[in-house]
Structure 1
Amino acid sequence: MHLALIRPLLRLSEHYPPGWHDRQELGVASEAEFRSLLISGLLQQRPPPSLVNDALVVFQEGRCFLVPADPWEEVEEVEPESLHPFEIDFRVLACLFRNAFDLQGPPVRELTPFLYWLGSRSTGADREGVCLARGRAAGDLLDLLGVARVHEPAPRWTLLTPTDWAPAANVLMHLEHFQTRVLALEGLVDGARDTITLPAFRLSGPRMSVDEEGRTVTLDGDKQVLPSREAAVLAALAREAVSEAGVVSRDRLAKAIEDATGSRERQHEEQIDTVMSRLRSRLGDPDLIRTHRRSGYSLQLSAAEVEVF
């Protein structure tokens, strides 16, 4: 199935309270595409209603009539297909995203009518729980997170919403306190490539935080203590990134290592290379540090992505 077909369903799934939709509302023009949604189970066809706007629905010889309660009003003939409502099966939608994101853990289940557990995945040393919310009027994101945390304890959370709910700044601040991010599914669908990707876990704040005194670095939520040499080198690179000054020379890195270790022994080129190699390995992303031949090194993060304290 083409993922682009999911977009109109995501928008419709925001209706509160959840309900049925006619063929025109679904916004699927192609008959083949419409059938694929039915076959997949994402759409469930329901029996036609017995009343429409207080008028009795009567089927006769393949034709459909709306008979008003007032005998003085005229009987209206309508297309039978227009009275066949369709309902979005949110559980099937949740299973589709669980498979697309290759999530693990307990299977998809409904935690509340407005929150589905999709699964979890490993993010560094921690586990990330993923849930799908619906019906933006059903309660705020903090309430939904509370429900999720009760059912499936996890140190990090991603709350997926069908569309962009644009949470208030104070709500986002509280969510980040609980290591939680909010992503809109609609924006994750790449219709041109027919793909959908769940980005690596990252909160909206700085990607890297360096504590010089404590010799710790937090990168994409993963915190670790560094040896003194690696910590000194990273702090020098981070300060340069924050000031947007550019490249840190080998001489400055050598001085940083000497100050951190209290050694008066001059650091040779090979020693700096060894420290840099170990630092790259600890960070888990060798591309974060760029080597500038004959001039030094730089951290490949913008000033907004780094903080040093």
Structure 2
Amino acid sequence: MRILVVQHDPELAAVMAECLRRTDFDVDVVGDLSDAERKLGTTGCHGLVADRDQPDGDALGLIAAHRRAGWTRPVMMLTAVDSHAERTVLIEQGVDDYVVKPFSTVELAGRMRNLCRLPVAPAQASRLRVGELEWCRHDDAFTCAGAPLLLTGPETAALRALILAGGALVTRDHLTRCCAAEQDRPPAYTVDTVIGTLRRRLGPPDLIRSVRGIGYRLVEPS
């Protein structure tokens, strides 16, 4: 898989690229948004790692524009800010995961490896289905066995992330960020609480499989 790294600091870019290569990625490195735009238009990238603060602007604008144009590859953002407002903005503009500077390059590579294992739902698919659970992309609404599911914002965000993963593992950290984006203040729940409520709402058979200490995934009923 080929990853594009957008990082204006040459020394940090070299360290990031080396760590990603040790994780079996092919890596291209550019130092600004203009070069990133050209690379995304001409190279078959499977994912993007970008420092938000670039010499020629905010990388979030580049990502948001490509998301609107239908680009669906995984995106990891480097940011200097760790706050609820920052998380909300990143998720709303199409970022899949982020790390806060200073960060561990080993963690960065591991998170990117996990994101690239998540199958991307086809942009044209208007409905996704797992067992009796169905998600309508247009309305962002879930039904189970044909009946509407009345979900809270965090529950909807978590279930959306799980169904978009297409059966692949979704980490607890990613689910936490998805849920947090639906809150106006720091959440008083845990991911386990949200998943437990979803299981009760969906009923048997249990479609949500736990991967202990790591995350969850949706599975087809036996």
Q: What band does the TM-score fall into relative to the shorter chain?
A: 0.3 to 0.5
TM-score (norm 2): 0.39
TM-score (norm 1): 0.30
Structure of greater Rg: 1
Q: Structure with the greater relative contact order (CA < 8 A, sep ≥ 6): 1 or 2? A: 2
